[in-house]
Chain A
Amino acid sequence: MSALDFVVLFGSMLGIAIYGIWRTRGHRELNTYLRGDGKTAWFAIGLSVMATQASAITFLSTPGQGYLGGLGFVQIYFGLPIALIIIAAVFLPIFRQLNVYTAYEYLGWRFDTKTRLFGAVLFLLQRGLGAGLTIYAPSIVLATVFGWPLNLTIISSGLVVIIYTVMGGSGAVTVTQKYQLAVIFSGMVTAFCLVVMKLPAGLTFTDAFALAGGFQKLNAVNFSTNIHERYTFWSGLLGGTFLMLAYFGTDQSQVQRYLSGDSLRAGRLGLMFNAVCKIPMQFCILLLGVLIFVFYLFEQPPLFFNATLSQYLAEHSSDPKLRDYEMDFNSLHTQTNRQLEDWLKARHVGDRSAATAAFAAALSAHQQGEKIREEAVRALSPIHSSTAATDADYVFITFILQQLPHGVIGLLVAAFFAAALSSKAAELNALGSSTTVDFYRQVIKRDATDTHCVAVSKWFTAFWGLVAIAFALYAHLVENLIQAVNILGSIFYGVMLGLFVVAFFVRHVGGTAVFWSALVSQTLVFVLYFTLTISYLWYPLIGCAACVILSIVLQNFLSDVSVKSKTPET
């Protein structure tokens, strides 16, 4: 990074943070600290909801997912528009009418305290662990950019986020997210344009698409009914609807965002803005990864994108085995490159048979190269724990640092930090709010004043930030960050959603039935997750369905017992 990059990075980040703290100075009441000033317009809510979901992982890991797996990942968002319509029509009016701080307050109002606490525990568990993953992503950037040890960057970036969130509260999160998104989108659009400009001369956009399609990177929709396939149209539409319904409807980090609006209308339009924009946005980010894949078909890629492994390779270049892997990989890439140049020439002169033959040879050489890469990873895995992670999370940052001009590098690193700050701050703020409102004020100190609760909320926010840092130190063990976040959500969200579905739609079920049903359903999801190999997108549906069905059955049983016990003996 050059001086220009640092000016862009620190200028944009500090400017936004100082603005947020200045705009929310004097927010000492619980209401304004946890929900903002309640005057947020619909467009700001829409951006805030988007920024909360779009963490640094979205912008760092998703292009890597596109690079490795193509566009298929977009299917996970197919349920999102339907879920957001249900939330706007059913959930939001009820939350606003009840004037709740947290979604779980509604469970306490509808059922009882134990069910409210159970809902809050599920949220705190999954969001507390998920927060660790969102701290890990910007740490990868820091470690790669500066060459600092990963654990040091995790701790330092985690502490920065904690200080920022504790000082500003919910208001700071909302007022700064729109500016953070502006930085993020500027960075991503610039990166997209530069990738297109960096494609080889003579390779048109149509050629690039044909090439990506030939390497199976443009398979955006898969109608397979195999439940073991991770991303299909059906798992995205059915499982994805439940996953998104649970995330946007019951996760406090999102509920807090759309409750900050000045009216029901503002919250609804903010959600509809996301329902329209999310799929195109994710498509473009995945397409960026696909285009980076095409770029690296013509440019020599590193054997490992993972910075730690790359460094290990450089330090042990004298090792004959590692040297052989690298030479073989580079040689196969040269073959791929040559064949693709032949393919391009044949395609442009309309020689179909020559084009087909050249493409088949290129595909074969590329596949052999990938096998060499896999063998190298296997060979290094007993030596280096970082091999457990795939290269996906490092693809985009490697491309940025090696291929993009100074100034743009600073802008993109700033974009990652903006994304990390916006989503992380919203998560920590929600964790602090829920712990204060659902536990502290409910169980420990019922007569706590607002000023006292604001102070306690800040401590809880800091506590959850430290938990997230601790978990982030182990995040290198996960396969891919964007998938890990969704897998974690899928395990917990189904039952959380089940609690709210029963609360909204099954009026005759009471607190005891739903509490025990939720407990059994969550255990069932854990057991299934560790025993079955089905796509994780089905677990929100399974958890929700199990909770609703068990609640109804148990309520009928409890009603029978109650009726019998009240019937006088004759």
Chain B
Amino acid sequence: MKRPSSVKSVAAPEAEDTGLSWLPTWKGVYLVVILHFVLWIILLVALTDFFS
């Protein structure tokens, strides 16, 4: 198994294409995931408040 020479050579390749035409960057993908999470929290809080 080949090992790279140092950890520094192992940079996260954020420049890699996501393959999603509507979300070309990884930062955009992560942002959509976070927004989806926040939306679910809001829905769950609303459900809790409305029916308790």
Whether A85 touches B48, Cβ cut-off 8 Å, given contacts A94-B10, A98-B3, A269-B19, is no
In the complex, the chain B residue whose C-beta lies closest to that of A93 is B12
What are the interface flags for A67-89 relative to B under an 8 Å C-beta threshold, 1 for contact and 0 otherwise? 00001001000100110110011
Taking the closest CB of chain A, its distance from the CB of B29, in whole angstroms, is 6
Contacts of A220 in B (CB 8 A): 44-45, 47-48
B16 to chain A, nearest CB (A): 6
Complex Cα distance, B50 from A213, in Å, reads: 8
Question: Per-residue 0/1 for B1-39: is the Cβ within 8 Å of any A Cβ (1 yes, 0 no)?
Answer: 111100101111110111100000010011001101100
* In the complex, chain A residues 28-59 whose Cβ is within 8 Å of any chain B Cβ: none
Determine the chain B residues whose CB is within 8 A of the CB of A89 once the complex forms: 12, 14, 26, 30
Which residues of chain A from 260 to 283 have any CB-CB distance to chain B below 8 Å in the complex?
264-265, 268-269, 272, 275-276, 279-280, 283
Q: How far does the Cβ of B46 sit from chain A's closest Cβ, in whole Å?
A: 9
The residue of chain A having its C-beta at the shortest distance from the C-beta of B18 within the complex is: A265
Pair B10/A221 contact, Cβ less than 8 Å: no
A218, B30: Cβ atoms under 8 Å?
Answer: no
Residues of B within 8 A of A160 (CB): none
In the complex, A141 Cα to B44 Cα: how many Å?
Answer: 31
- A66 to chain B minimum Cβ distance, whole angstroms, is 13
Cβ B10 vs Cβ A279 within 8 A: no
Question: In A278-317, which residues have CB < 8 Å from any B CB?
Answer: 279-280, 283
Given contacts A93-B12, A98-B10, A507-B7, is CB(A78)–CB(B48) below 8 Å? no
Beta-carbon contact of B13 and A93 below 8 Å: yes
A467 within 8 A of B: no
Q: How far is the CA of A169 from the CA of B49 in the complex (A)?
A: 48
Residues of A within 8 A of B2 (CB): 99
A98-B26 Cα distance, complex, nearest whole Å: 21
- Say whether A97 contacts B44, CB under 8 Å: no
Size range of the interface on A? 35 or more
* B52 touching A275, Cβ below 8 Å: no
Query: Which one of A71, A88, A221 has the highest number of Cβ atoms from chain B below 10 Å of its Cβ?
Result: A221
A16 to B6, CA, bound (A): 43
Residues of B within 8 A of A213 (CB): 50-52
Is there contact, CB below 8 Å, between B37 and A279?
yes
| Residues of chain A lying within 8 A (CB to CB) of residue B52 | 213, 216, 218-219
Are A97 and B10 in touch, CB under 8 angstroms? yes
| Smallest Cβ-Cβ distance to A276: which chain B residue | B36
Residues of A close to B16: CB separation below 8 A: 264-265
Contact of B29 among A110, A264, A272 (CB under 8 A): A272
Contact A81 B34 (CB under 8 A): yes
CA distance A210 to B9 in the complex (A): 57
Which of B4, B12, B33, B48 contacts A98, CB < 8 Å?
B4
Supposing A93-B12, A97-B4 touch, asked if A218 and B17 sit within 8 A by C-beta, the answer is no
Q: Which of A129-162 contact B (CB under 8 A)?
A: none
The answer, among A85, A94, A221, A265, for a CB contact under 8 Å with B17, is A265
Is the beta-carbon distance between A78 and B10 smaller than 8 angstroms? Answer: no
A212 touches B10 (CB 8 A): no
A43 to chain B, nearest CB (A): 12
On whether the beta carbons of B33 and A272 are closer than 8 Å, the reply is yes
CA distance A283 to B44 in the complex (A): 9
- CB neighbors of B among A211-238 (8 A): 212-214, 216, 218-222
Known contacts A94-B12, A110-B7, A219-B52; 18 further A-B pairs (Cβ under 8 A):
A88-B26, A89-B30, A90-B12, A93-B13, A97-B9, A98-B4, A100-B1, A109-B3, A212-B51, A213-B51, A220-B44, A221-B41, A221-B44, A221-B45, A222-B48, A265-B19, A272-B29, A276-B36
- 20 CB contacts below 8 A, A to B, read A71-B48, A85-B30, A85-B33, A85-B34, A94-B12, A97-B4, A98-B3, A99-B1, A100-B1, A213-B51, A218-B52, A220-B47, A220-B48, A221-B41, A265-B17, A268-B18, A268-B29, A269-B18, A275-B37, A280-B40
Q: Which residues of A contact B (CB under 8 A)?
A: 71, 74, 78, 81-82, 84-85, 88-90, 93-94, 97-100, 109-110, 209-210, 212-214, 216, 218-222, 264-265, 268-269, 272, 275-276, 279-280, 283, 507
Minimum-distance CB pairs A-B, first 3:
A213-B51, A220-B44, A81-B37
